[in-house]
Amino acid sequence: MNIGAHVRGGGSLIPSLEAGAALGATSIQVFVQSPRMWKPTQYAPEVLEAYREAQRAHPTITHTFCHATYLINLASDDPALLERSRTALAHNLRVGRLMGAAGVVVHLGSHKGAGFDPAVAQVAQAVQGALDAAESVPGACPLLMENAAGAGGTVGRSLDELEAVLEATGRDERIGLCLDTQHLFASGVDYATVARARALIREVDRRFGLQRLACWHLNDSKTPFGSNRDRHANLGEGEIGADGLAPLLGHPAVRNLPWLLEVPGDGDGPRARDVEAARAIHAAGQLLYQRPARHRPPHQGEHHD
Ligand SMILES: [Zn+2]
Ligand SMILES: [Zn+2]
């Protein structure tokens, strides 16, 4: 299993590898600039090259993911904001390529009620424009669209919306997916039984191809199922619960992907005990798939679709 954690980047980025290792994580996610500011952090090429070498040589951290700044809104009807967003995303992608990241995760943005359909072509163009611009530097790093919890007019609140964006890019090979367990739950996607987890993974495969799913964001939820609110809780302390997460973590087709914690911990992000909690849930999830189906008792009083 590959349990990861969001950690602080720091100036040279390399300390983030040690921060992840200190938690017992085997993958990390970092911000490569302040997540709530436009100003890009300018890294010297040697810094990014040194990171790439350090990542390659690191004995325990297998993947580094970057999370793009939250200010990006590729669905904005304000041309200036759209341009800033595309520029910021291109910068994040260039940094990701140069540091050898496994992907840059991005929230596509919000149409603020103007409607999803009119925004699709613009979002797709902006995504491809940023990817094209990032090709000015060597490397290869996919852009990973993240599903949204569904507040306001967020784009990517459903697999259907994410697929529509992908489709509008001509199913661009440079685009992948990062699915967030809390956002799925908040947007009304149920994966709390083996049957439903299987149905979800089948749907992801049918719509995108599982090879596009690069990683997960692993979070419990402070808000109820279908609440459309983006509020992460520590694993086992939220509305999803350990039992609700286990069928997804244990699914044979996705269990070996990086599962990146973005939980609050004590207020300072994932702790070693959060990584341990994730490992325990992952192990429990794997066991669910080891029992032959015919020996599994039927679920009482549950609706099956
Ligand atoms: Zn997330
Ligand atoms: Zn979130």
Phi, psi of 108 (to 5 degrees): -65, -30
Range of the domain at 72: 2-291
- pLDDT at residue 152, rounded to an integer: 87
In terms of C-beta density within 10 A (0-12 exposed, 13-18 middle, 19 or more buried), how is residue 151 classed? middle
Phi, psi of 155 (to 5 degrees): -90, 130
- pLDDT at residue 301, rounded to an integer: 54
Å from CA of 158 to ligand 2 middle? 14
**Low-confidence stretches of the chain (pLDDT beneath 70):** 291-305
Residue 167 belongs to a domain: yes
- pLDDT at residue 10, rounded to an integer: 72
Q: Please tell me the number of the ligand nearest to residue 221's CA.
A: 2
Residue 83 belongs to a domain: yes
- pLDDT at residue 30, rounded to an integer: 96
- pLDDT at residue 235, rounded to an integer: 98
Q: Please tell me the number of the ligand nearest to residue 229's CA.
A: 2
CA 140 – CA 127 distance, rounded (Å) = 15
Q: How many domains does the chain have?
A: 1
- pLDDT at residue 52, rounded to an integer: 96
CA 196 – CA 302 distance, rounded (Å) = 12
- pLDDT at residue 35, rounded to an integer: 87
Instruction: Assess contact for 27 and 215: CB atoms under 8 A.
Output: yes
Instruction: Assess contact for 164 and 212: CB atoms under 8 A.
Output: no
Å from CA of 137 to ligand 2 middle? 30
**How many other CB atoms are there within 10 angstroms of residue 80's CB atom?**
8
Å from CA of 174 to ligand 1 middle? 20
Å from CA of 140 to ligand 2 middle? 26
Could you tell me how far CA 25 lies from the centroid of its own chain?
A: 16
- pLDDT at residue 303, rounded to an integer: 55
Q: Please tell me the number of the ligand nearest to residue 150's CA.
A: 2
CA 105 – CA 29 distance, rounded (Å) = 9
CA angle 26/31/32 to nearest 5° reads 110
CA 108 – CA 105 distance, rounded (Å) = 9
Using alpha carbons, select from 147, 120, 145, 119 the residue that is nearest to residue 230. 147
Å from CA of 27 to ligand 2 middle? 18
Q: Which amino acid makes up residue 58?
A: H
- What are 60's two structure tokens? 């325990």
Residue 191 belongs to a domain: yes
Using alpha carbons, select from 141, 150, 140 the residue that is nearest to residue 227. 150
CA angle 152/30/94 to nearest 5° reads 90
Residue 305 belongs to a domain: no
Å from CA of 292 to ligand 1 middle? 33
Residue 164 belongs to a domain: yes
Q: What is the value of pTM for the model shown?
A: 0.93
52: enclosing H helix or E strand? helix 45-57
Here the CATH number for the domain that contains residue 89 is 3.20.20.150
| Residues comprising the chain, all counted | 305
Residue 117 belongs to a domain: yes
